[in-house]
Amino acid sequence: MMKKILFLSFVGLTTLFFGCSDDPSPLAPPADASISSSSFIWPGVSSSNPKNGSTVSSSSVIINKIDTIRKQEIINIPAPGVDYPNTVEEKMFCWNTGCEATVKPRSSSSKARPKSSSSEGGTPIDEPENKAPTINGMSMTDMRDNKTYTLIQIGGKLWMAQDMNYEIANSECFNEKNENCATHGRLYTFNAAQKACPLGWHLPTREEAQAALNDESVPWSYSGRCKDGTCDFLGDMGFHWTSATPQSGDKNFDTNTGSSYTVIIVEKDPEYAGEKEQKFFQVDSKTKRFSVRCVQN
């Protein structure tokens, strides 16, 4: 029994002796470091609690026998109940004096890029692919989706003789039926229409559109329109975007004013038009959905 007591006393004294040693633990922070009880921040980084205004203190890490370390970390690590954004940053840390001059950081901070946003009634892409079509005689193949269109020569320029059917944000099929896209092409807002034409092609200018209106051989399509969730005039009227600037002779020029309006071509089926004007320029809203015919640059 006495031997056991002596042995336990020896172990206790040994533990006390080493526990009181002046040598710091290899993982202990320096005396001037402060680490909050609720969070950990890499050296040189500090943040605040956005909810209660408290400050998360900067702290240091001791890594023996290592001069520098490169590490990609989530530097805004939340304390319990605190919601910080996930900011990713690559940092370089030096513990030995002068080591910064010998080691070059690879990069500064960077944030995760946002994903492309989906579009209403279109493909989830922000910008169309930049590809030129291939032309074979009087046909054009759009290399972005491999759809082929018949071409026509108007006023010395190559035009599409069919309406564009390239799916992009803010375009739709008439009444959201795919068979209407296959027959009549898609209907686009003005902003979408400016991105619908393939590389090397564009929306017609006023002069190019006027040449098409004057040419009786142009096969206009009566693909209708869509606005405010309602589609109408399929088979009776066609509406095509242009890049023209409104002029006083255009229909609705006096009523549709301002930057929210631009010029379209209106084409009426002769039987539907009767004795009224069949083809003309009109100033209309950029948010409505109309057809697109592209002209080669």
Say yes or no: 88 and 41 in one domain.
yes
Residues 36 and 85 in one domain: yes
> Is residue 116 a part of any domain in this protein?
no
Residue 289 domain flag: yes
For residues 159 and 84, membership in a common domain is answered with no
Q: Residues 215, 274: one domain?
A: yes
Contacts 24+ apart (CB under 8 A), 172-176: 172/121, 172/122, 172/226, 172/289, 174/223, 174/224, 174/226, 174/231, 174/234, 175/231, 175/234, 176/121
- Does residue 77 register a pLDDT over 60? no
How far is the CA of 79 from the CAs of 47, 49, 51, 216, 268, in angstroms?
Answer: 11, 8, 11, 74, 67
Average pLDDT over residues 14-27: 48
Whether 118 maps to a domain, the answer reads: no
Question: Has residue 23 got a pLDDT over 60?
Answer: no
What is the mean predicted confidence (pLDDT) over 99-108?
51
Residues 61 and 142 grouped into a single domain: no
Q: Does some domain include residue 229?
A: yes
- For residues 169 and 244, membership in a common domain is answered with yes
In a domain, 126, yes or no: no
Residue 43 counted as domain residue: yes
Regarding whether 146 and 249 lie in a shared domain, the answer is yes
Please state whether beta strands 157-160 and 147-154 pair in parallel, antiparallel, or not at all (unpaired): antiparallel
Dihedral (CA of 244, 249, 251, 257) sign: positive
pLDDT at position 10, please? 57
| CA-closest candidate to residue 245, choices 272, 221, 232, 264 | 264
Predicted TM-score (pTM) of the model is: 0.58
Residues 284, 202: one domain?
yes
Query: Which tens digits make up the pLDDT trace of 211-223?
Result: 999 999 999 999 9
- In a domain, residue 28? The reply is yes
Q: Is 30 within the bounds of a domain?
A: yes
pLDDT digits (tens, 9 = 90+) for 24-73: 444 444 444 444 434 334 444 444 444 444 444 444 343 344 444 444 44
Q: 222 vs 106, which has greater pLDDT?
A: 222
171 and 275 belong to one structural domain: yes
What pLDDT does residue 96 have? 59
Note whether 237 and 226 are within 8 A (CB): no
223 and 171 within one domain: yes
- Mean pLDDT confidence for 122-127: 44
Domain boundary among 81, 101, 121: 101
What per-residue confidence (pLDDT) applies to 48? Answer: 45
Tell me how many domains the chain contains.
2
pLDDT, one tens digit per residue, over 237-262 is: 999 999 999 999 999 999 999 999 99
Residue 77 lies in domain? 23-101
What's the helix, strand, coil split of the chain in %, to 5?
Answer: 15, 25, 55
Q: Are residues 33 and 142 in the same domain?
A: no
Among the candidates 78, 101, 124, a domain finishes at 101
Sign, Cα dihedral of 53, 57, 58, 59: negative
